[in-house]
Amino acid sequence: MTGHHRPDAIAVVDDDPRLRQLIGGYLSQEGYEVFEAENGRSLASILLRRAIDLIVLDVLLPGEDGLSVCRRLRAMGVRTPIIILSAKGEDADKIAGLTMGADDYVCKPVNPRELRARIQAILRRSSPREEPGGPSIANEIVRFGPFEFNLGTRTLRKGDRILGITTVQIAILKVLVRHTGQPLSREKIAQVARGRELGAYDRSLDVQVSRLRRLLEDGAFSYIQTVWGVGYMFDPSGREGVGRHLQASGEAASW
> What value does the mean pLDDT take over residues 237-243?
59
In the predicted model, is pLDDT for residue 179 greater than 90?
no
- Determine how β-strand 33-37 pairs with β-strand 9-13: parallel
193, 168 contact by CB (below 8 A): yes
Enter the DSSP assignment of 234: E
Domains in the chain (CATH in brackets) are 9-125 (3.40.50.2300), 141-253 (1.10.10.10)
pLDDT tens, position by position, 7-18:
889 999 999 999
Kindly report which listed range (2-6, 153-157, 183-187) carries the lowest average pLDDT score: 2-6
pLDDT tens, position by position, 114-162:
999 999 999 988 755 655 555 665 668 899 989 999 988 889 999 899 9
- pTM beyond 0.85: the answer is no
Which pLDDT belongs to residue 15? 94
3-state class (DSSP) for residue 24? helix
Which pLDDT belongs to residue 202? 61
Count of Cβ atoms closer than 10 Å to residue 32 Cβ:
21
Length of the chain, please?
Answer: 255
The Cα diameter of the chain in Å comes to 59
Which pLDDT belongs to residue 51? 83
Percentage of residues in the chain having pLDDT higher than 70: 82
